Chain A
Amino acid sequence: MNAQETGAGCTHLLALLGAVMTIESDEADVGLPAALLEHLATCPECRASEGRLTALLTRYQAESPQLPDDLADRLVAQVCGRFPPQDDR
């Protein structure tokens, strides 16, 4: 049974993830983008899942959130009631 059949995905992805989780600053992250791009160029599975993640995020981005009931009314009352000059109630 290969990694994809178990749902684990590319094993190199998991190894890269392990490296990512030890990174503590952006400055220490100089090698990762290059390593990722290099891997994506040679791994069809990761290239496909990267494309699907992009599609998933794009779809998610396109769907507007349904705001909680009366959120606008509550915020206007809370915010504008304290905005100088004070309202004239």
Chain B
Amino acid sequence: VYNPWEIGNPIYDSESALLDGLRRHDRHACTDLLHRFMPRLYRLAFQITGSADEAEDVLQESFIQACRRIDCFAGRGGLGSWLYRIVLNTALMRLRRRTPVTVSLTAVRDPDTLPWVAQGRDDAGDPGARVLSYELREVLEQAILALPDSLRAAVVLRDVEGLSTGAAAKALGISEAAVKARLHRARLALRARLTPYLIEAPMLLSGDSV
């Protein structure tokens, strides 16, 4: 008999089986849920809060909430979309409780708090690595963080997480037209902030010179 934290791999072969397991309160269903969705949800929480510590707290709160409220999940739109919405709402609620912070494009964050930093450093010495430079990644993340909450959520869901407009609208609880309008505003603000980097982008994005 294994304890929940000793389970390393998904034990349900489909999402519907996992959902049944969660509804029956099977011992390992929550663990399976966590392993399945954690990486994507962590990135979402990190993008919204801008903090690795807060992203972890958001995930903890969200998974507990999801497991406890699984009977409220109607099954429409998939488990992933439902979890996205919980994580998004939890992260945005934390932001609202937080004292407003002005993020400057020139501000330097502690590199060790960034989840991508190790990958960037490891690849820095490899001229053929097809990853973004550390500088470009940092500037992009700061630009996203500097957006107002509502615009940041739209651009993270659509352009970073790759959700469809419909899925993003469901996650945000707004219309598809509103998602598109927010995305236009967010991208305009991003382009304005990133102009010097976008002018240099052919070199930075070439993949061969990074």
Using a CB–CB cutoff of 8 Å, the interface residues on chain A facing chain B are 4, 7-9, 13-14, 16-17, 20-21, 23, 26, 29-30, 32-33, 36, 46, 49-50, 52-57, 59-61, 63-68, 71-85, 87-89
Q: Is the CB of A56 within 8 A of B188?
A: no
Among candidates A7, A36, A82, residue contacting B184 with C-beta atoms closer than 8 Å: A36
Q: Is the CB of A57 within 8 A of B160?
A: yes
For the complex, give the distance between the alpha carbons of A53 and B143 in Å. 12
Smallest CB-CB A-B distances: 8 pairs: A9-B195, A80-B4, A26-B178, A52-B201, A7-B196, A29-B181, A76-B5, A49-B198
Q: Is the CB of A61 within 8 A of B202?
A: no
Q: Is B119 an interface residue (CB 8 A)?
A: yes
For the complex, give the distance between the alpha carbons of A50 and B189 in Å. 11
Q: Is the CB of A66 within 8 A of B116?
A: yes
Label chain B's interface by main secondary structure.
Answer: helix
Q: Is the CB of A66 within 8 A of B201?
A: no
B139-164 with Cβ < 8 A to chain A: 140, 159-162
Q: Is the CB of B191 within 8 A of A63?
A: no
Given contacts A65-B42, A74-B56, could you give 7 more A-B pairs where the C-beta distance is less than 8 Å? A8-B195, A13-B195, A23-B185, A36-B184, A67-B38, A79-B63, A80-B30
Q: Is B205 an interface residue (CB 8 A)?
A: yes
How far is the CB of B155 from the nearest CB of chain A, in Å?
8
Q: Can you list, as one digit per residue, whether each of B44-81 has a CB less than 8 Å from chain A (1) or not (0)?
A: 00100000100010011001100110000000000000
Q: Determine the chain A residues whose CB is within 8 A of the CB of B35 once the complex forms.
A: 72, 76
Q: Can you list, as one digit per residue, whether each of B193-210 has a CB less than 8 Å from chain A (1) or not (0)?
A: 011111101100100000
In this complex, what residue of A is CB-closest to B202? A52
Among candidates A13, A14, A49, A84, residue contacting B199 with C-beta atoms closer than 8 Å: A49
Label chain A's interface by main secondary structure.
Answer: helix
For the complex, give the distance between the alpha carbons of A68 and B136 in Å. 21
Q: Determine the chain B residues whose CB is within 8 A of the CB of A60 once the complex forms.
A: 132, 137, 140, 160
Using a CB–CB cutoff of 8 Å, the interface residues on chain B facing chain A are 1, 3-5, 7, 25, 27, 30-31, 34-35, 38-39, 42-43, 46, 52, 56, 59-60, 63-64, 67-68, 115-119, 131-132, 136-137, 140, 159-162, 174-175, 177-178, 180-182, 184-185, 187-192, 194-199, 201-202, 205
For the complex, give the distance between the alpha carbons of A89 and B160 in Å. 40
For the complex, give the distance between the alpha carbons of A89 and B119 in Å. 37
Q: Is the CB of A75 within 8 A of B52?
A: no
Q: Is the CB of B202 within 8 A of A26?
A: no
How far is the CB of A32 from the nearest CB of chain B, in Å?
6
Q: Determine the chain B residues whose CB is within 8 A of the CB of A82 once the complex forms.
A: 64
How far is the CB of A30 from the nearest CB of chain B, in Å?
8
Q: Determine the chain B residues whose CB is within 8 A of the CB of A80 once the complex forms.
A: 4-5, 30-31, 34
For the complex, give the distance between the alpha carbons of A36 and B189 in Å. 12
